[in-house]
Amino acid sequence: MSSHAQTPAPLDSVSSPEPPNVAHSLTAEEVLQRLEVHPEQGLGHDAAQDRLAAFGPNQLPAPEKDHALIRFLRHFQDVLIYVLIGAGVLTAVLQHWADTIVIALVVVINALVGFLQEGRSERALESIRNMLSPSAAVLRAGSWTTVNAEHVVPGDIVRLRPGDRSPADLRLVEAADLAVEESALTGESLPTEKTTTPSPEQAALGDRTSMAFSGTMLTTGTATGVVVGTGSSTEIGRINTMISEVEMLETPLSRQIAQFGKLLSLGVLVLSALLVAVGWRLHGTPLPELLQAAVGFAVAAIPEGLPALITITLALGVQTMARRNAITRKLSAVQTLGSVTTICSDKTGTLTKNEMTAQRVVLSQQSFAVSGTGYSPEGQVADDGEPATLEHPGLRRFIEIMSLSNDTELAGSEAGGWSITGEPTEGALKSLAGKLGFQADSSVRLATLPFSSHNKLMAVTAQLPSGEQLVLVKGAPDLLLHRSSQQLTATGALKDIDVAAWNRHIEALSGEGLRVLAAAYRRSTAEDAQTLSLDALGDELVFVGVAGILDPPRLEAIAAVKACQDAGIRVQMITGDHAGTATAIARAMGIDNGEGAISGAQLETTDDDALRELVQHHHVFARTSPEHKLRLVHALQAEGEVVAMTGDGVNDAPALRRADVGVAMGLKGTEVTKDAAEVALADDNFSSIATAVEEGRRIYDNLRKALVFLLPTNGAQAAVVLVAVLFGWTLPLTPLQVLWVNMVTAVTLAFAFAFEPAEDGIMRRRPRDPEAGIVQARHFAQILLVSAMIAAVTIVVFRWRIGVGDDLETARTLATTVLVVCQVFYLFNVKSLDGFSLRPSVLFKNRVAWVMVGVLTLLQMAFIYAPPMQAVFDTTRLGMFHLSITLGAGVAVFLLTELLKLLLRTGGRGGKPRKGITQNVRERSPLTPTI
């Protein structure tokens, strides 16, 4: 490092200057001067201790945690839990201890599930801490030594080798053929080449080529750098802070269930008080009897089975999604997926195959299209649809160069897939050669000039099967054009190079987002067979052609994007890659709407109000930082969107945590990302997101059906009790019989909805309004009217049988059975909530429903005929005439409900339109992240 000839600061008396926050834009000498450190001596031991005391250890702070008991008790702070606890107290008052125990178990299990699911952010932060390097080679007092990474301080000189992780943020002082894998921070699909040259002050994170960031790994080359950021002051530390402070959103279902619980509890209290007051003042009913009736009313009104039903439905949805490669870590995320209006997707590996593929070959007079994707050597090289072969002189020479000046190995597996050992770009060229049947092992490599980030080319001396001995060169097009004096024609002849024409070809390919590599050659000399050097290549090369290479879109992802768009879901691409590449992929995927890509630099100068407008019109965002992604999610949510965000790197974690549903890549995603997300994709494929959205919609539909089914049971029972008290009649059901109906319908019939298949056209519907209740107005009307209908049938049958001389036990047993049978028929009304149910596709497409009907029939027969059950529930045997009454009541309810559905559907069709694809009616919220 003798080039830095500044005067050294005293080694043991160095102060603690603040590291420059624009180190990437300063020269290495300026950074060293500001940090008061000599490049050949490093910090003194005392100075290092002083700075350690001033800046703190180089580690990420552990998050503060509440005591486990406090976190557990917090999960009881929910209105629905209060309602359940109230139900348990009421059943205890009635001394129905079995029901009390069941309700208590539901409450405790729900709290335990929430407690175990809690702490995702803490695990995410721990995952980040585990990414940091455990030790570092630093220069202290003129000697290289290894220290614990926690003791690295600003101003330390650090040395890195291939495979090392940077222990802190470093401003590079020396770099030799350096490439750093930093996709976890930037989203770049390929390692980033690094130099010591300063970067522009406003450069995006991925363009700060003079920096090596904490936690990133060297893939090639060596480096020496000065520490400019440690602990929370590093880029990864900033992300750590963002994850810990980002506010997580409540899911639509949890908001709606909470609202439902509040309304339900308020309604039960008001009506119970009204029931007691009316019975006491109008009929003079004794207060103890009224309180007993109020208890029966409250038990009837509270759907005790609802929490268990929701949990079971979501849990079964989780299992279904896991079989379809979407692993869900949080139950509520299942239904939130069904409410998604916008999907923000990463590019590499999610929308694309993460396998570079040659798409175009351009020679001096011809352009060839290449079919096939990935590394598989299956496909065709064609000129205007006509297949090409190696008999074409120019094409053969091009393939020879690209295949032989190549260190990557292409291998097929027994399962039929193809993989590479080496660089992805070289793998694409090997696959291209395989598509033309080129055999590289028939040639001999005599000498090699390896690729380097400085030279940007690779050259080999090769003995070809024809006996020719050539120097074959592949590399950056501008460098090879500069070194070429001639070009190869289609007939194999040579002529003077037309640089302008080649530049037009290269610009056209780059404009399509393709990475361009060039091929050139010359005759070799005797010296070339022994060794190759950059100077020896000279400037008399023969330019052959260029290849356009791209990580191609997944074909199944293209179909999935189309399916999402047909479902009214907007798909946006948010990537750390370059704008040209992002635009090309977005265009191929059908994501680009013609508005073009917005870069991270543009986002920096866009305020929150303008950003909210921007996200409505632009679908592609490139060169984005973690802050940009977080702001974009905020902007979409402020516009009322329910956002699913995908990602794989540490840089994605804050946005994933803020999104309504965070979706991590299970194969190439970091542990940080997986811990910050609710869903992980087992195959890293966008099509699995579309499948998860479809499953989420199915589950949401089924939860709605279950609610519309369950509530009339409670409504009818409550209405029966309420009407009887208001008119001073004998109660048609005892509180224990009410509990029986609640229990058996919840654990049998309602359970069938967890298995209900998706309705036809579920992915052709527009996204539902995220603020709309799970039970819509027409469904609420259906619940009220069906409740009244079933209650009326029950009361009429009870009063009729009492009037004709049936004893009270018989009449109550009949009334209870009427309620149960009406619910059986109503189950089939709800299976097609918005359509006609008397169709085979509705009646028979869910076998579980029929199994549950059979189980319920057995339970109800035991309720009527089993002596132990008769003793507990005060029931008695019913004859065939009584059973036929229940059957007739069920048929009547079914037919009247179908008529009611038709009237409600034709009278209540429509809804509030949304802006564009995904307009909302949610109140706008501030964009500023809570960080």
Residues with catalytic roles: 346
Q: Which residues pair with 472 in a beta bridge?
A: 460, 521
The Cα 217–Cα 167 span in angstroms is: 10
The Cα 350–Cα 833 span in angstroms is: 36
The Cα 303–Cα 713 span in angstroms is: 9
Cα–Cα distances (Å) from 498 to 60, 231, 361, 542, 772, in that order, read 56, 54, 17, 12, 64
Q: Which residues pair with 708 in a beta bridge?
A: none
The Cα 659–Cα 673 span in angstroms is: 13
C-beta of residue 570 within 8 angstroms of C-beta of residue 589:
no
The secondary structure of 790-847, three-state, reads HHHHHHHHHHHHHHCCCCHHHHHHHHHHHHHHHHHHHHHHHHCCCCCCCCHHHHCCCH
- The token duo for 207 is 């363009």
The secondary structure of 846-897, three-state, reads CHHHHHHHHHHHHHHHHHHHCHHHHHHHCCCCCCHHHHHHHHHHHHHHHHHH
Q: Which residues fall within 8 angstroms of residue 409, CB to CB, at 6 or more apart?
A: 420, 421, 422, 430
DSSP state for residue 207 in the 8-state scheme? G
The terminus-to-terminus CA distance of the chain in angstroms comes to 41
C-beta of residue 720 within 8 angstroms of C-beta of residue 732:
yes
Say whether 101 sits in a helix, a strand or coil.
helix
Say whether 125 sits in a helix, a strand or coil.
helix
C-beta of residue 813 within 8 angstroms of C-beta of residue 864:
yes
Where does residue 856 fall: left (phi above 0), alpha (psi -120 to 50 degrees), or beta otherwise? Answer: alpha
**How is 743-788 classified by DSSP, letter by letter?**
HHIIIIIGGGGGGPPPPTTGGGSPPPPTTS-SS-HHHHHHHHHHHH
The Cα 562–Cα 558 span in angstroms is: 6
C-beta of residue 893 within 8 angstroms of C-beta of residue 822:
yes
CB burial class (10 A; 0-12, 13-18, 19+) of residue 657? Answer: buried
The bridge status of strand 457-463 relative to strand 469-475 is: antiparallel
The Cα 699–Cα 308 span in angstroms is: 15
Can you say how many angstroms the Cα of residue 435 is from the centroid of all Cα atoms in its chain?
36
| Rounded-to-10 torsion of CA 827, 833, 838, 844 | -60
Q: Which residues fall within 8 angstroms of residue 100, CB to CB, at 6 or more apart?
A: 88, 91, 92
- Among 335, 306, 308, smallest CA distance to 320 is for 335
C-beta of residue 778 within 8 angstroms of C-beta of residue 905:
yes
